[in-house]
Structure 1
């Protein structure tokens, strides 16, 4: 891990020549500059495509064998991990325990800066112990500059417990080496505001987490085509989405789709299986369990 005095050479800390006159720009010029720089996040994601694919594979393997996915970070990186984890239950009807975000400073750090806590590797180690992480789990350590002691401590502790470890950072390997099973580098370049990694680095990290978590859930059978078939029907918007999915994928009208959703206990995946196979809810649930929740395989087996 890098010395505190030596971090000025890091890509995330360097000065962006395109924004040297940032304080002299008009509002429109600021917008144009950000738009120009943010385009680099797409290139960074493209260059990390193979490692992102490997993360999806590792994540789906871990969860399919009964493990959990943990994001670990401090500051912006930690908040992005918590955000992605929080979106999984409503989107994919997963339990809150399946994908979890761990942030230095705990829940309070989500709304109040606590960046000083990122300097304690032992706190990262303690977080891993507290969550009782095992060899079935996968831990993604997020650190834009690659040097966050809290994340390094967590990754090391997770590795010692046999968990699969992934590092995600925005600096090249030759600047900071991170000990993890898989190393994802999102090289977006220097920030418009020097050192402010909530900007391009944060955007690229959010994009990468979107890809990983969605990809994992696709591999786990929680998506049919590009439809959110495991959506949690907990409010008016999501109920409307569930009904539209049923109408789009079947010949049912809205009234019929509502009735089917009721009979399937508000479970879109089960409703589709019942409609396509003629099974009742109980038999449909048993068939889905047999195929580990994969709707396509369950339907094909009943043809």
Structure 2
């Protein structure tokens, strides 16, 4: 079925090479300001997917992102940031990119064109119907992503997608589709720009909301964060000071002894 490929439409701007740096920056910023409004319009669709993910993860399921190019890199980025932020293991939210880890830094030729490879990549993780797979593709036409979701659907695995072209093949195949309409890019077809920004925003919203719903935030604090550097140890120490009223030295010792802000606070008898 034909659909309107908005991500390939002509830019609203022309003669970009004749613009001054200030004109370029102002024009890009003007377009970027429309992205949050576009994302706001699909919050009910994001909510539906978040509810499903939380339900699955409460029974031991995992969340997978699959994508190619910019979309794949955004999925890998979001997945990689969840363990240090929320203290979950690296096998709970997993980002997979067409072409493998090499493709995170360099384009891998034709990797996105293999419609069977995504599910092979997912099978390496012994994927089951407890899991949720979100396909990310601005165009909504990437064979790697579409094929992956089609195979997941056949296995009874919950699927979602983030695309910027409503009615696209990816939008049609996902059981929980999210199509955010950001309009033509500043540079025609360069979906690393507004489309990429929208995808990043939605991924942030999904993973953050899911982790909060699963109990990894207390109040507004990252009580389960990994203590991977001095900055985070200091932040955790100050969280404990705020929650318990102890001084910095005692709070820091509690944090080191108990390994997390949550454990340190609970040891003090504060829920």
Q: Is the 8 A contact 2:149 2:173 kept in 1?
A: yes
Q: CA deviation at 1:259?
A: 2.1
- TM-score relative to the length of structure 1: 0.86
Count of residues paired in the alignment: 271
Q: Is the 8 A contact 2:145 2:170 kept in 1?
A: no
* Structure 1 or 2: more helix by fraction: 1
Query: Is 2:252 the counterpart of 1:271?
Result: no
Cα distance in 1 for partners of 2:164, 2:95 equals 19
Task: Give the match for residue 109 of structure 1.
Answer: 103
Task: Give the match for residue 218 of structure 1.
Answer: 212
Q: State the Cα deviation string for residues 72-110 of structure 1 (Å, max 9, x = none).
A: 000000000000000011111111111100100000000
Task: Give the match for residue 11 of structure 1.
Answer: 6
- TM-score relative to the length of structure 2: 0.95
Task: Give the match for residue 294 of structure 1.
Answer: none
Deviant stretches of 4+, over 4 Å: 174-177
Moved more, 26-35 or 238-247: 238-247
Q: Is the 8 A contact 1:128 1:157 kept in 2?
A: no
Task: Give the match for residue 256 of structure 1.
Answer: 250
Q: Is the 8 A contact 1:59 1:138 kept in 2?
A: yes
Q: CA deviation at 1:154?
A: 0.7
Q: CA deviation at 1:250?
A: 2.3
CA 1:153–1:109: 2 relative to 1, 3 Å: same
Q: Aligned with 2:116: secondary structure?
A: helix
> Which of 15, 22, 32 is matched with 1:28 structurally?
22
CA 1:175–1:134: 2 relative to 1, 3 Å: closer
Cα distance in 1 for partners of 2:256, 2:97 equals 39
Q: CA deviation at 1:115?
A: 5.3
Aligned counterparts, 1:59-70, within 5 A: 59-70=53-64
Cα distance in 1 for partners of 2:83, 2:60 equals 17
Relative contact order (alpha carbons < 8 A, sep ≥ 6): 1 or 2 greater?
2
Q: CA deviation at 1:177?
A: 4.2
Aligned counterparts, 1:178-257, within 5 A: 178-257=172-251
Cα distance in 1 for partners of 2:118, 2:172 equals 15
Cα distance in 2 for partners of 1:162, 1:272 equals 41
Unaligned runs of 5+ residues in structure 1 are: 278-298
Unaligned runs of 5+ residues in structure 2 are: none
Moved more, 169-178 or 225-234: 169-178
Cα distance in 1 for partners of 2:171, 2:136 equals 14
Aligned counterparts, 1:49-128, within 5 A: 49-114=43-108, 116-128=110-122
Which structure is larger by alpha-carbon Rg, 1 or 2?
1
Moved more, 120-129 or 71-80: 120-129
Q: CA deviation at 1:57?
A: 1.2
Q: Aligned with 2:96: secondary structure?
A: strand
Q: State the Cα deviation string for residues 214-259 of structure 1 (Å, max 9, x = none).
A: 1000000000111001010121111111111111222121112112
Q: Aligned with 2:82: secondary structure?
A: helix
Cα distance in 1 for partners of 2:178, 2:62 equals 19
Q: CA deviation at 1:34?
A: 0.5
Q: Aligned with 1:106: secondary structure?
A: coil
